[in-house]
């Protein structure tokens, strides 16, 4: 019997990672698709008149084991992949895409859904039930249920191709990341690098039976080198290697894949009656239209660009004065920014890192969650892990009741993609009067411990941990009936609010004193360092904002413009999209789009603006906390009740106003960013 096809018997019904063989996945997915098809047939063949319960609810709770197995599989493909898993992903993705279309293009099923939708005003549904009904109806109408048979066949073909292309895109980027190594045997080439970074590079070389030091494109290796290495030629080499991922006209090149994905998305949107992919996506977002997104980004650009130009000019002058370089290049940015920051604020990450031992920062996130939301985190060892590095926790409330199971995976390795993300292995929902609690995971790529030092985080890594932990809290504190409306199942431009708001606690003395303790002496972080963190919080905020806006504009260029069929050259198209945001000289060997996984592999296509959009919400929300006290129980309870627990059960602006008492005002963001007086 295949272990994946039945309810798991592990503690807390957790995923049985150690008992799963890769060859279990494909047969289990195929078997569970057939089982789900039988559940769908039972709904469509029901002789009783369609009701909310026998159609909408029945559909919502169909395929639960299939959903669990596919979430385990695709999470492993991101965090612990292998050649075998990638091969299976290429095989099962088109099958799953086809099955998804089997449901949304099922005329008999849609007929039942439509019958309920058209009489919804007479059904006395709860708000959550109304939202679920709207969502189910739109999942059909927005995905081809109203098409004729010829167009339905075209849609199926497009969706199958897209499923494979997105996978291939990600595999190419990961292969490029793993392939590159900067192997150094002369210690002078490491001049400027902090001791911890040198030790990590040496340890990495030893692990691969090499002399000297190894620098890779994994962030904990790449970022310290770009920030501190004095050798400008080596910084240039490393920068070009990172910037040219999947842009080398070889087997791992993504240029044609990018063009094909953009084209297929455009054709799909047209087929469904939308002008562009962005028009299709944004119909289900707070921003609503491409016009509104572009207005939002351009308004921010107007505020940020003068500050960014000024910061760039000052940085270039500083670099020329310091090292007499002829012009500032992309590989100089982090290096001279760090030096200028040290000069202006007498602050650098190496001063801060001893106070941010990973274990202490994790504990700090837990204490903040306890003070705000009454959560307790207990490390447990009685559930399976997919890798030895993964930490597992049982999360309970003040009554000792289970809130969630929590997985945390912090270090880079070969089978793990770069970056940081939150995901779920089991949703929260209530069925037959019994509540199922969620299993939530965060995945990061932080600095590993070395022989002489524990994992000491940069301040940027500290805020990243709190960011992903904010997403995790959104998942953990879910309190809804239906799984598809639970936790982070919200509008994409609302999903970043809980994560981004949590970052704010990292800048507050009251919070830092709870966990920022020197890893050797136990000394609490000195006040002057806390003050410097706050003072430097808006350092180069103009440049950072311009960078985020540029990514949002590139995303919209790919997805909101004229037919992508007219695009012949990915690099030239990208340069045109960047023309109003580019300050650094272009690097001809580099291309952002070919490794822009957020929009070509992940779920952020036509949605990258969400980060800045949610910053308006988070600055406004934290301003509310600041007025009443950052650990104010009343405000925390309102945030938990109206935002974190409600998932996607109502319109996000309705939920936000219920928490805040008003719509968000951008002034709080501009003030925090130092872009307004």
Contact 365, 466 (CB under 8 A): yes
| Alpha-carbon span 571 to 577, nearest angstrom | 10
Q: What are phi and psi of 250, to 5 degrees?
A: -125, -165
pLDDT tens by residue, 26-69: 999 999 999 999 999 999 999 999 999 999 999 999 999 999 99
Nearest to 164 by CA among 260, 263, 295: 260
Mean pLDDT of 587-605: 96
Mean pLDDT of 73-97: 97
- Please say if the pLDDT value at position 403 is more than 70: yes
Q: Give the β-pairing of 402-409 and 439-443.
A: parallel
| Alpha-carbon span 333 to 316, nearest angstrom | 9
| Alpha-carbon span 249 to 242, nearest angstrom | 15
- Please say if the pLDDT value at position 436 is more than 90: yes
- What is the model's pLDDT at position 673? 83
CA distances from 668 to 55, 265, 571, 664 (A): 45, 36, 36, 9
SS (H, E, C) 446-508: CCCCCCCCCCECCHHHHHHHHHHHHHHHHHHCCCCCCHHHCCCCCCCCCCHHHHHHHHHHHHC
Which neighbouring-strand residues pair with 431? 434
% of the chain beyond a pLDDT of 90:
96
Active site residues: 468
Average pLDDT, the chain: 96
pLDDT tens by residue, 531-588: 999 999 999 999 999 999 999 999 999 999 989 999 999 999 999 999 999 999 999 9
Which neighbouring-strand residues pair with 402? 396
Which neighbouring-strand residues pair with 424? 440
Q: Give the β-pairing of 391-396 and 213-215.
A: unpaired
- Please say if the pLDDT value at position 665 is more than 90: no
Contact 592, 242 (CB under 8 A): no
CA 527 centroid distance within chain:
33
- The DSSP letter of residue 605 is T
- What is the model's pLDDT at position 677? 58
| Alpha-carbon span 555 to 418, nearest angstrom | 20
pLDDT tens by residue, 232-289: 999 999 999 999 999 999 999 999 999 999 999 999 999 999 999 999 999 999 999 9
Q: Angle at the Cα of 644 (from 640 to 647), degrees rounded to 5?
A: 140
Half-sphere exposure of 91 (CA within 13 A, CB side): 14
- Which domains are assigned to the chain? 3-104+106-142 (1.20.1050.40), 180-243 (no CATH)
% of the chain beyond a pLDDT of 70:
100
Of 603 and 214, the one with more pLDDT: 214
Contact 384, 19 (CB under 8 A): yes
Nearest to 290 by CA among 531, 559, 634: 559
Token couple for 599? 């929009």
| Alpha-carbon span 264 to 261, nearest angstrom | 5
| Alpha-carbon span 207 to 218, nearest angstrom | 15
- Please say if the pLDDT value at position 676 is more than 90: no
CA distances from 27 to 31, 66, 82, 84, 425 (A): 6, 11, 18, 14, 20
Largest CA distance in the chain: 82
Mean pLDDT of 491-519: 96
Question: Which stretches does DSSP call E strand in 132-258?
Answer: 182-184, 213-215
- What is the model's pLDDT at position 349? 85
pLDDT tens by residue, 8-28: 999 999 999 999 999 999 999
Token couple for 156? 């199926």
| Alpha-carbon span 223 to 228, nearest angstrom | 9
pLDDT tens by residue, 451-477: 999 999 999 999 999 999 999 999 999
Q: What are phi and psi of 379, to 5 degrees?
A: -70, 130
pLDDT tens by residue, 136-180: 999 999 999 999 999 999 999 999 999 999 999 999 999 999 999
Nearest to 623 by CA among 652, 655, 666: 666
Question: Which stretches does DSSP call E strand in 415-533?
Answer: 421-426, 429-431, 434-436, 439-443
């Amino acid at each position: 019997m295949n272990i994946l096809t039945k309810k798991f018997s592990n503690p807390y019904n957790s995923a049985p990672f150690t008992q799963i063989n890769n060859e279990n996945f494909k047969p289990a997915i195929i078997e569970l698709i057939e089982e789900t098809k039988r559940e769908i047939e039972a709904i469509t063949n029901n002789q009783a008149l369609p009701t909310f319960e026998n159609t909408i609810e029945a559909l919502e709770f169909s395929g639960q084991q299939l959903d669990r197995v596919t979430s385990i599989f695709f999470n492993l493909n991101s965090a612990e992949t292998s050649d075998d898993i990638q091969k299976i992903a290429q095989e099962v993705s088109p099958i799953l895409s086809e099955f998804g279309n089997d449901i949304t293009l099922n005329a008999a099923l849609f007929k039942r859904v439509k019958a309920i939708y058209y009489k919804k005003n007479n059904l006395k549904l709860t708000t959550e039930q109304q939202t679920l009904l709207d969502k189910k109806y739109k999942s059909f109408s927005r995905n081809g249920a109203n098409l004729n048979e010829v167009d339905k066949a075209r849609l199926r073909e497009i969706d199958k191709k897209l499923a494979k292309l997105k996978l291939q895109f990600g595999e190419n980027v990961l292969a490029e990341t793993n392939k590159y190594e900067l192997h150094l045997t002369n210690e002078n080439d490491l001049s400027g690098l902090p001791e911890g970074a040198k030790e990590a590079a040496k340890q990495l070389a030893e692990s691969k039976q090499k002399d000297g030091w190894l620098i890779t494109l994994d962030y904990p290796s790449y970022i310290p080198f770009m920030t501190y290495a004095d050798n400008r030629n080596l910084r240039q080499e490393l920068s070009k290697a990172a910037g040219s991922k999947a842009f080398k006209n070889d087997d791992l090149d993504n240029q044609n894949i990018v063009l094909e994905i953009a084209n297929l998305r455009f054709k799909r949107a047209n087929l469904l009656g939308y002008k562009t992919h962005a028009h299709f996506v944004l119909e289900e977002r707070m921003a609503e239209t491409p016009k509104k997104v572009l207005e939002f980004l351009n308004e921010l650009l107007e505020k940020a660009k003068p500050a960014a130009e000024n910061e760039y000019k000052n940085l270039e002058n500083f670099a020329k004065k310091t090292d007499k370089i002829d012009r500032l290049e992309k590989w100089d940015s982090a290096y001279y920014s760090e030096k200028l920051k040290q000069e202006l604020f007498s602050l650098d990450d190496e001063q801060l890192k001893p106070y941010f031992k990973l274990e202490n920062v994790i504990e700090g996130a837990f204490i903040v969650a306890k003070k705000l939301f009454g959560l307790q985190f207990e490390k447990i060892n009685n559930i399976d892990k997919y890798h030895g590095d993964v930490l597992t926790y049982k999360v309970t409330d003040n009554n000792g009741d289970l809130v969630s199971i929590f997985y945390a995976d912090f270090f880079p390795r070969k089978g793990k993609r770069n970056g940081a993300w939150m995901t779920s292995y089991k949703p929260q929902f209530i069925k037959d009067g019994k509540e199922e609690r969620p299993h939530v995971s965060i995945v990061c790529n932080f600095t590993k411990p070395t022989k002489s030092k524990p994992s000491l985080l940069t301040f940027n890594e500290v805020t990243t941990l709190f960011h992903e932990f904010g997403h995790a809290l959104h998942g953990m504190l879910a309190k809804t009936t239906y799984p598809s409306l639970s936790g982070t199942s919200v509008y994409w431009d609302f999903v970043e609010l809980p994560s981004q708001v949590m970052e704010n606690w990292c800048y507050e003395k009251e919070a830092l004193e709870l966990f920022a303790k020197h890893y050797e002496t136990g000394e609490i972080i000195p006040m002057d360092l806390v003050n410097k963190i706050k003072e430097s919080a808006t350092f180069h905020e103009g440049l950072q904002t311009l960078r985020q806006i540029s990514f949002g504009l590139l995303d919209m260029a790919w997805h909101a413009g004229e037919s992508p069929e007219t695009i012949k050259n990915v690099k030239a198209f990208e340069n045109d999209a960047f023309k109003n945001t580019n300050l650094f000289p272009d690097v001809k060997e580099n291309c952002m789009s070919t490794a822009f996984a957020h929009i070509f592999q992940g779920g952020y296509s036509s949605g990258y603006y969400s980060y800045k959009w949610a910053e308006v919400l988070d600055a406004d929300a934290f301003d509310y906390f600041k007025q009443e006290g950052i650990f104010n129980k009343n405000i925390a309870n309102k945030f938990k009740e109206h935002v974190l627990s409600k998932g996607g059960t109502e319109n996000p602006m309705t939920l936000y106003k219920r928490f805040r008492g008003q719509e968000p005002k951008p002034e709080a963001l501009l003030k925090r960013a130092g872009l307004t007086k």
